[in-house]
């Protein structure tokens, strides 16, 4: 009952605000959605207290599909992993709902916005509580649609519409992998229920399947297909291009969907399928490589961006990379731990950025900011807390989780663990640098905005700053509170995350050399120090460096040219092929030699067909009907009789 209320109260809020928005009014829609979200968050908190470390159980709701041995229920699976996820999702979402009251105060369609936010939360909760792959798929695409709707919320802006479509379509590429993963899962297990899969995964280890012209290890293929889905949703290298563009959505959306929750669904998926991934070392290697590469790639791009939200977006992309390679090296717990801490500090950073944008009359370009520290002190303090947590300053939440990941990478036996460690360490330097850059460019130095804007700069109302404060508490203390997740014996997870008998990474990570333990902190200090040097001490330094390394900067500034490449490789050819098939194939070949050719000769044969209009048509039709009947009769009489 607790969990049913937890999951479905946001759905109720979405329905009420969406269908009766006009009757409820703006205020009514806010009260209904926030109130139901608070109920959900309250239940999630109780759930966290009651069910962490308890064995898994499920709440069955309704039979969904029952066809040819494929039996799927709508059901809520409650175990420690889903309990933690439900808490993060509901709790963060609740405060972002509240924050939105202030942030969207002047928008014309408040009920629609609140409805979408609640819809998203419902879909996300369905995703994390899924007890089978198809319900997970439902949540998976449900959050995708909510994300599409919210990115395109300001639908009169062409850029927002384009970003919304891009997000959905790129995610669909990943979803193809997921759909095939579901199909393969059924081939292997005759079921897509999690408990069946996890119980029998061991029996399938080492079996091969021939698919796509290859003969490959069955579980490896399944894990890779699922991971392709995860790559799309979590914006990993190759399928990441939609995430920066998604910043077209209102800032609370960026905080909730594109930082704290939805984009982490891929990490959740890998952790959820740890019983399968543990038996598929090749898939884990792939996860490690992709995660590490993304962590590094996104951090390099983040160095050069000027849009305050895009910097944080690339940072998200990069941090997701950390979570993935944590899973890849076998430390799923560390990945989920980072997911939790990241949810708090990254939501904080985004909402802080939203507060800045709010103060600056919707300005997002950091080149036109600066000197805000005195004017919006609360926001400034909050942004520092978020930044310190992100860069892993000792004592903050990010410190615990990021250190754990890097130590695990060092200690792992995965073939690519050192690649992950070094790329992760390098990315940590870059993270600290761009984070410092963001704070310094925004809040320090001389104001670069014109005086009209500067005169209007004001601190956000309490309805926005209080949620910031709550998330800041999380960014400061989630590390202390959540460190139990890393318990080497796995007591915390109570079987929700499975590690193989040879996987001792959670033990080994405590026995790494001192220098390895110190390395992340050194990296952080280096990055922050450099950014202070670049943007406070010697403000002309960035331009000189850029001038000296022009090609590199251009390459990074243009995000490694992924968008241009994809446009050239996929978008243009698809449209060109479409035209060729249409004009050339359908009209040029099929019609020309098919019906048109025949019609041509028919028309030549009898000009009467031209007058095939109204009155004549009846005669024609009835002649035809009679003809058909006669034909049938004739054939049957003559031949059959």
CA angle 450, 454, 456 (to 5 degrees): 125
Among 64, 306, 555, 566, interactor with another protein by CB under 8 A: 64
The smaller minimum CB distance to another protein, of residues 538 and 636, is found at 636
The smaller minimum CB distance to another protein, of residues 538 and 577, is found at 577
The smaller minimum CB distance to another protein, of residues 180 and 343, is found at 180
Among 50, 199, 518, 625, interactor with another protein by CB under 8 A: 625
CB of 295 to another protein, least distance (A): 27
Please enumerate in sequence order all residues whose Cβ is within 8 A of that of 168, keeping only pairs 6 or more positions apart, or say none.
144, 145, 147, 148
CB of 171 to another protein, least distance (A): 9
Please enumerate in sequence order all residues whose Cβ is within 8 A of that of 353, keeping only pairs 6 or more positions apart, or say none.
251, 308, 309, 312, 383
Distances (CA, A) of 485 to 322, 337, 341, 478: 17, 7, 12, 11
Q: Looking up tokens 């995860």, which residue turns up?
A: 230
Footprint of another protein on 574-613 (CB under 8 A): 574-575, 577-579, 581-582, 585-587, 590-591, 594-596, 598-599, 602, 609, 612-613
d(CA 136, CA 616): 58
Footprint of another protein on 12-41 (CB under 8 A): none
Contact predicate 572/579, CB 8 Å: no
Pairing of β 57-67 and β 208-211: unpaired
CB of 138 to another protein, least distance (A): 4
Half-sphere exposure of 640 (CA within 13 A, CB side): 7
Contact predicate 151/113, CB 8 Å: no
CB of 28 to another protein, least distance (A): 18
The smaller minimum CB distance to another protein, of residues 480 and 593, is found at 593
Q: Smallest Cα–Cα separation from 105: which of 466, 471, 464? A: 464
Contact predicate 370/445, CB 8 Å: yes
Footprint of another protein on 155-194 (CB under 8 A): 155-156, 158, 161-162, 164-165, 168-169, 172-173, 175-176, 179-180, 182-184, 186-187, 190
CB of 249 to another protein, least distance (A): 14
The smaller minimum CB distance to another protein, of residues 139 and 479, is found at 139
**Site string (99-138) toward another protein, x via CB under 8 A:** -----------------------------------x--xx
The smaller minimum CB distance to another protein, of residues 221 and 468, is found at 221
Pairing of β 214-217 and β 57-67: unpaired
Note whether 62 binds another protein by CB under 8 A: yes
Contact predicate 320/268, CB 8 Å: no
Footprint of another protein on 281-300 (CB under 8 A): none
CB of 570 to another protein, least distance (A): 10
The smaller minimum CB distance to another protein, of residues 545 and 632, is found at 632
The smaller minimum CB distance to another protein, of residues 64 and 306, is found at 64
Sole window of 95-103, 150-158, 281-289, 330-338 interacting with another protein (rule: CB under 8 A): 150-158
Q: Smallest Cα–Cα separation from 369: which of 438, 313, 300, 299? A: 438
The smaller minimum CB distance to another protein, of residues 545 and 574, is found at 574
CB of 403 to another protein, least distance (A): 39
Please enumerate in sequence order all residues whose Cβ is within 8 A of that of 106, keeping only pairs 6 or more positions apart, or say none.
none
CB of 68 to another protein, least distance (A): 3
Sole window of 299-307, 334-342, 425-433, 633-641 interacting with another protein (rule: CB under 8 A): 633-641
Q: Which long-range contacts (CB under 8 A, 24 or more apart) does 563-571 make?
A: 563/241, 566/241
Interface with another protein (CB under 8 A), residue total 84
Among 10, 142, 354, 436, interactor with another protein by CB under 8 A: 142
* Consecutive H or E run containing 631: helix 614-635
Query: How many other β-carbons are positioned within 10 Å of the β-carbon of residue 489?
Result: 8
**Site string (211-240) toward another protein, x via CB under 8 A:** xxx---------------------------
CB of 134 to another protein, least distance (A): 7
The smaller minimum CB distance to another protein, of residues 184 and 301, is found at 184
Contact predicate 513/411, CB 8 Å: no
Q: Smallest Cα–Cα separation from 445: which of 536, 314, 359? A: 536
Query: How many other β-carbons are positioned within 10 Å of the β-carbon of residue 158?
Result: 9
The smaller minimum CB distance to another protein, of residues 210 and 554, is found at 210
CB of 243 to another protein, least distance (A): 17
Contact predicate 209/181, CB 8 Å: no
**Site string (250-269) toward another protein, x via CB under 8 A:** --------------------
The smaller minimum CB distance to another protein, of residues 491 and 634, is found at 634
Q: Smallest Cα–Cα separation from 378: which of 456, 478, 470? A: 470
Q: What phi, psi does 67 have (nearest 5°)?
A: -135, 120
Among 48, 145, 205, 466, interactor with another protein by CB under 8 A: 145
CB of 158 to another protein, least distance (A): 7
The smaller minimum CB distance to another protein, of residues 59 and 161, is found at 161
Contact predicate 292/416, CB 8 Å: yes
Sole window of 144-152, 236-244, 269-277, 329-337 interacting with another protein (rule: CB under 8 A): 144-152
Please enumerate in sequence order all residues whose Cβ is within 8 A of that of 459, keeping only pairs 6 or more positions apart, or say none.
355, 359, 375, 376, 377, 378, 379, 465
């Amino acid at each position: 009952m607790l969990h049913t209320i937890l999951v479905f109260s946001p759905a109720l809020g979405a329905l009420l605000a969406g269908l009766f928005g006009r009757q409820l009014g703006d205020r009514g829609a806010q009260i209904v959605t926030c109130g139901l979200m608070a109920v959900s968050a309250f239940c999630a908190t109780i759930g966290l207290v009651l069910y962490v470390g308890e064995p898994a159980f499920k709440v069955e709701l309704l039979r969904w599909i029952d066809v040819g041995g494929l039996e799927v229920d709508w059901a809520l699976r409650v175990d420690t992993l889903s309990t933690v996820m439900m808490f993060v999702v509901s709790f963060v979402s609740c405060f972002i709902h509240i924050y939105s009251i202030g942030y969207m105060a002047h928008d014309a369609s408040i009920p629609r916005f609140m409805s979408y936010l609640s819809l998203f939360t419902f879909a996300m909760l369905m995703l994390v509580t899924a007890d089978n792959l198809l319900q997970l798929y439902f949540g998976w695409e449900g959050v995708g649609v909510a994300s599409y709707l919210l990115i395109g919320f300001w639908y009169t802006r062409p850029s927002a519409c384009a970003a919304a479509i891009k997000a959905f379509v790129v995610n669909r590429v990943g979803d193809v992998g997921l759909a095939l993963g579901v199909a393969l899962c059924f081939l292997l297990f005759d079921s897509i229920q999690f408990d069946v899969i996890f119980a029998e995964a061991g029996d399938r280890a080492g079996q091969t399947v021939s698919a796509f012209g290859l003969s490959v290890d069955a579980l490896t293929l399944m894990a890779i297909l699922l991971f392709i889905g995860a790559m799309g949703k979590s914006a990993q290298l190759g399928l990441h291009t939609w995430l920066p563009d998604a910043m077209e959505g209102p800032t609370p959306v960026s905080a909730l969907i594109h930082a704290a929750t939805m984009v982490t669904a891929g990490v959740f998926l890998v952790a959820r399928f740890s019983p399968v991934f543990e038996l598929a070392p090749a898939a884990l290697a792939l996860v490690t490589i992709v995660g590490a590469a993304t962590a590094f790639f996104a951090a390099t791009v983040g160095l050069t961006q000027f849009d305050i939200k895009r910097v944080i977006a690339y940072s998200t992309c990069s941090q997701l990379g950390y979570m993935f390679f944590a899973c890849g090296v076998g430390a799923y717990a560390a990945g989920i731990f980072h997911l939790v801490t990241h949810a708090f500090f990254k939501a904080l950073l985004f909402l802080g950025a939203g507060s800045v944008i709010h103060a600056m009359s919707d300005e997002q370009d950091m080149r036109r900011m600066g000197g805000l520290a005195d004017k919006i002190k609360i926001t400034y303090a909050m942004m520092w807390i978020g930044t310190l947590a992100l860069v892993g300053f000792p004592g903050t939440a990010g410190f615990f989780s990021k250190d754990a990941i890097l130590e695990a990478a060092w200690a792992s036996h995965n073939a690519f663990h050192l690649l992950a460690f070094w790329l992760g360490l390098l990315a940590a330097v870059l993270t600290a640098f761009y984070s410092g850059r963001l704070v310094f460019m925004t809040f320090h130095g001389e104001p670069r905005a014109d005086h009209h804007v500067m005169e209007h700069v004001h601190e956000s109302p309490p309805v926005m700053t209080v949620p910031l404060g709550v998330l800041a508490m999380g960014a400061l203390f989630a590390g202390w509170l959540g460190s139990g997740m890393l318990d080497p014996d796995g007591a915390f997870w109570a079987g929700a995350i499975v590690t193989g008998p040879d996987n001792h990474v959670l033990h080994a990570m405590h026995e790494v050399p001192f220098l390895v333990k110190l390395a992340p902190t050194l990296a952080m200090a280096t990055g922050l120090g450099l950014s202070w040097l670049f943007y406070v001490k010697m403000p002309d330094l960035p331009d000189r460096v850029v001038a000296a390394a022009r090609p590199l900067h251009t390459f990074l500034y243009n995000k490694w040219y992924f968008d241009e490449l994809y446009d050239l490789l996929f978008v243009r050819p698809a449209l060109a092929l479409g035209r060729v098939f249409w004009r050339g194939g359908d009209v040029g070949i099929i019609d020309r030699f098919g019906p048109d050719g025949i019609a041509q000769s028919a028309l030549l044969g009898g000009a009467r067909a031209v007058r095939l209009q109204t009155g004549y048509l009846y005669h024609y039709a009835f002649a035809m009907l009679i003809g058909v009947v006669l034909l049938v009769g004739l054939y049957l009489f003559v031949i059959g009789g």
